[in-house]
Amino acid sequence: MKVFAIAKNTFKEAVRNRILYLLLIFAILMIGSSRILALLTISAHERVIKDIGLFGINFFGVLIAILVGIGLVYHEIDKKTIYTIISKPIHRYQFILGKYFGLLITVYVNLIIMTLFFFIMVFVLGIGFHISLLYAIIYTALELAIVTALAIVFSSFSNPTMAAIYTLIMFIIGRMNEDILRFAQYLAREADRMIQAGQQVPPFNKFLQGFTNVICRVLPNLGLYNIRAEVIHTPDKVMISWEPLFYAFTYSTFLLLIAIFIFQRRNFK
């Protein structure tokens, strides 16, 4: 109930953010312009439209989560509105959860608007609608749940500019997570080869192996949610699985616990 009240108020606050509308307009322009870009290709009209549409939805969804989210907790402290909230009979964790769900609702409302526009375009242009498009959107929604939690974590202890930079870096690393894992595996193979050849494994290799392994496991694996290539090229083979849903749930919970842990200890000077 109290979490819901804060979430509702956060949503009211977020929809007043002008950045939100700017991003939404750009997203719609981008999705809309895919038809024109498709003209530049020889035969792959459908693929280009789907590709740009899904990319636009994902890209702008992430931008909205980051740019609207980063200031939410910071501004409450900066403008001292938090004084009268924390002094009410609510726990600090309820405040963080309220902020998170309020932001998530904002992000999802925008996701729905962008998706509707994209689907209308798909129908109007007579491109065959395939259920895999919806799967891609669901995966984006799951990814956004994690990105939103990231924004809340960084917003709980740093100013908006730094929070935006941190969240963006985490997002980029998260997207490259699988590549980093592959790199770690490559390093391990190289080390094996050296041992078999009777050579000494350089300490730097060992350090890098450990480092990349830790990064892969601790930082979010957002590559899991990028199924755009499959949706466009082999739509019939796209299957939806529980694993990404479970991962998004546990990882967001983990992030929110960190945010709560930090927020619980803060002094509001």
Partner 1 sequence: MPVVRTEKLTKEYKHDFIEFEYGRMKVNFVPKKTCALIDLDLEVQQGEIFGLLGPNGAGKTTSIKILMSLIYPTKGKAWILDKSLDDVNMKAKLGYLPENPYFYDYLKGWEFLDFYGQLYGLNKSERLKRAKELLKIVGIEYAANLPLKGYSKGMLQRIGLAQTLLNNPTVVILDEPLGGLDPFGRKEMRDIILSLKEKGVTVFFSSHILSDVETICDRVAILYKGRLKALGKLGELLSAKINEWEITAEGLEESKISDLKPHIKKLITQGKEIFIVLDKPDILPTVLDRINRENARLISLVPRKETLEEYFIRTLGGNQE
- Nearer of residues 43 and 87 to partner 1, judged by Cβ: 87
> Which of 89, 126, 198, 203 contacts partner 1 by CB under 8 A?
89
For residue 45, give both structure tokens: 């009209």
d(CA 32, CA 139): 22
Closest to 136 (Cα-Cα) out of 38, 230, 45:
230
Of the CA atoms within 13 Å of residue 65, those in its CB half-sphere come to: 31
Q: Out of 43, 88, 126, 200, which residue is the one contacting partner 1 (CB under 8 A)?
A: 88
- Residue burial 212-248, b: 16+ Cβ < 10 Å; e: rest: bbebbeebbbbbbbbbbebbbeebeebeeeeebeebb
Residue from 21, 33, 44, 91 that binds partner 1 (CB under 8 A)?
A: 91
Q: How far is the CB of 19 from partner 1 (least distance, A)?
A: 16
Nearer to partner 1, 241 or 267 (CB): 267
CB of 9 to partner 1, least distance (A): 6
Position 90 contacts partner 1 (CB under 8 A): yes
Task: Tell me how far apart the alpha carbons of residues 119 and 6 are, in angstroms, rounded to a whole number.
Answer: 32
Q: How many positions of this chain bind partner 1 (CB under 8 A)?
A: 25
Are 129 and 119 in contact, with CB atoms under 8 Å apart? yes
Check residue 21 for interaction with partner 1 (CB under 8 A). no
Q: Does 267 bind partner 1 (CB under 8 A)?
A: yes
Contact positions with partner 1 (CB under 8 A) in 68-87: 79-87
Residues that bind partner 1 (CB under 8 A): 1-2, 5-6, 9, 12-13, 16, 79-91, 265, 267-269
